[in-house]
A and B are shown apart, each in its own frame.
Chain A
Amino acid sequence: MKTIILRTASNYLLPILLLFSIFILLRGHYLPGGGFVGGLIASIAFVLHAFANGLKDTKKLLKFHPGFLMPVGLSLAFLSGLLPVIFFDQAFMTGLWMQDPIPVIGSIGTALFFDVGVYIVVLGVTLTIIFTISESA
């Protein structure tokens, strides 16, 4: 798979795919998209990079084990659900929203942080699975 075309292309595709995954993540509240699909697309970016440049380079690029992303994402999602319980004594997972929408991103609420948590977990899980399989193969 180590062709020069793919290798050159993957260097440009990696940031573009990551950007696209974030777009999908933000789009997801009302339209198709969201944390799960976004996380998958982000992991595709890294997998493509690994195909073109080999697993070692991708791991160097990431700098840490992707499995570490799982608890990080889980805690983000968990805290976003816990926020209304701690501060407002409302039921777990109640959506809290900021008054004014922010340009480009839109309204920000706990649902967004939950989705970001999902995004990170999916990225971590997918990369861990794929890296483990391709290491042992």
Chain B
Amino acid sequence: MMQQLLLYPLLWQLLMSIVLMFAWRHINVQRVMSITGSVIGLILSGMLFYKVLVYGTQTIQAGGWEAPFGITFVADTLSATLVLLTSIAGLAVSSFSSASIIPARLKFGYFAIFHFLLLGLIGAFLTGDIFNLYVWFEIIIISSFVLITLGGEKAQIEGAVKYFTLNFLASIIFLTAIAVLYGLAGSLNMADLAVLIPKIENRGLVEVTAILFLVGFGIKSAVFPLYFWLPASYHTPPSAVAAIFGGLLTKVGVYALIRVFTLLFVDDVFIDEVFIVIATLTLFSGAIGALVQKNMRKVFSYLIICHIGFMIAGLGMFTELAIAGAIFYLIHDIVVKTNLFMISGLIYRIKGSNNIKSLGGLYKEYPKLSLLMTIPFFSLIGIPPLSGFWPKISLIIASFNTQNYVVLGAVIFASLLTLIVMAKLWSEVFWKNPVDLPKRDHFLYFDKMTTTRKLQMLLPIVFLTGVSLYIGFGAESVQQLSTRIAGELMNKQQYIDAVMPKS
């Protein structure tokens, strides 16, 4: 039974989603099942992570069909780490959403779709087949589209249309790229492709395919100049949904970029330069965008875009240290961004608004809560010794080593602007004198909730803050993990050998 451990986190989410569908109308049952199920999912992912850490890359050939013909599932250290992070964020958001989302929305199968989204995410991280990756992306899009429209407010539909159109376009481009690649190489298995692609003689077409992949994943991971859908849609759904979106959805795009451009299209100087330019512009435009926004969640949306730049920059520099920095940033970012959106949801439930101008006095009313919120804020900015600080060090050293002084400047500039944005947010939301907000009727205020519900909202924030603190204070082990992942990514032969042992 333990041979199949690789698939258990995946299958568990599918099982959860099916079981939750049976309990369609019973919200309280769903709440309990989703939270306990997420705990078990976290344990399974932890077991997989441990196994990969000790025994190295694990593979499974689905249906017993040997690679390169069947669909392979691969868990190397990167995949296992991301699956673990997905489960951590999933558990937090599952608990948070059971309290913060109103029952009218939960009634329409929120939890079943939520676990379906987690299934898509875990599948995308684990698959070793490029077409299968596309299928998981589709599962992610479909379930995220349901989650973003659940409730059917006008603003939501507007955001959803923008979100869906651009993500769908990205999928079409991705699919075209797969088709061209299949025509060139005649295989879809990523390990097999890694062997075949360097042998293709028509290098021009390979480059075009690489650009197609770059554009497709670029839209999904919201890099400059393809990010406009993100701030237009992420502030519309309930904040629990925005938390899982902000924490994980763009990161799948980044994961796909890292996987494809370290395994399939390597040693391409042109692409690396494109990455550097994109990363620099993403860092600039995201940071400046965050500066002018008035809605808290829009600020965070722009910060997501801005910080994607760090990871792309690491990928563009393509040294082991730079990629280690990018991976470390990815690990830190998933936890912090999920937490930030949950915090914005908590503030929304306390005050009834997310507009920075009409908020204020939070520190006076909730001093302990505010102090708790400072930790993710400081981690995001990268104040030493918290988690955002360490990957930036790696990135800065790497940009010195590769003499990419523009990247160096962009990294420092984006960090500075993040600091300014967060300082502005802090003074407006927490220190400013309270603004009298009219009490809204039929609104689920935090004060009116039962203690259980309050805990369900607070504990996930405490939990993710704890994880953030661990990433900051236990930076040595996370750095070792990132270095190991970067080493695995740079040496693609071990991935190929793990999938196809004989060749």
Contact = CB atoms under 8 A, between A and B. Distances in A.
Given A67-B24, A95-B64, 20 more contacts: A70-B21, A71-B21, A71-B22, A74-B17, A74-B18, A74-B21, A75-B18, A78-B11, A78-B14, A78-B15, A82-B11, A85-B1, A85-B4, A89-B4, A90-B64, A91-B61, A91-B64, A92-B7, A93-B62, A94-B63
Contacts of B19: 71
Contacts of A93: 62-63
Interface string B454-473: 00000000000000000000
A70 B109 CA distance: 12
A2 to B, nearest CB: 32
Given A67-B24, A82-B11, A92 B62 contact: yes
A94 B7 CA distance: 13
Chain A's interface: helix, strand, loop or mixed, by majority? helix
A92 B21 contact: no
Interface string B1-25: 1011001000100110111011010
Given A67-B24, A71-B21, A94-B64, A89 B7 contact: no
Contacts of A78: 11, 14-15, 18
Contact of B11 (A67, A89, A92): A92
B4 A92 contact: yes
B4 A91 contact: yes
Interface residues of B, number: 18
A90 B22 CA distance: 28
A78 B3 CA distance: 19
A74 B4 CA distance: 21
Contact of B63 (A82, A86, A95): A95
A117 to B, nearest CB: 10
Interface of A: 67, 70-71, 74-75, 78, 82, 85-86, 89-95
B121 to A, nearest CB: 18
7 contacts: A71-B21, A71-B22, A78-B14, A85-B4, A86-B1, A92-B7, A94-B64
A78 B15 CA distance: 8
A86 B15 CA distance: 14
Contacts of B1: 85-86, 89
B252 interface: no
B359 interface: no
Contacts of B15: 78
Interface in B55-76: 60-64
B62 A91 contact: yes
A97 to B, nearest CB: 13
Contacts of A94: 63-64
A109 B361 CA distance: 66
Interface in B414-434: none
B60 A92 contact: yes
A67 B19 CA distance: 14
Nearest to A92: B7
A70 B64 CA distance: 27
A91 B60 contact: yes
A77 B63 CA distance: 14
Nearest to B10: A92
A23 B63 CA distance: 26
A93 B22 CA distance: 23
Nearest to A82: B11
8 nearest A-B residue pairs (beta carbon): A71-B21, A93-B63, A94-B64, A74-B18, A91-B64, A71-B22, A75-B18, A92-B7
A14 to B, nearest CB: 27
B4 to A, nearest CB: 5
A93 B61 CA distance: 10
B502 to A, nearest CB: 17
A79 B327 CA distance: 36
- Which one of A67, A74, A89, A94 has the highest number of Cβ atoms from chain B below 10 Å of its Cβ? A74
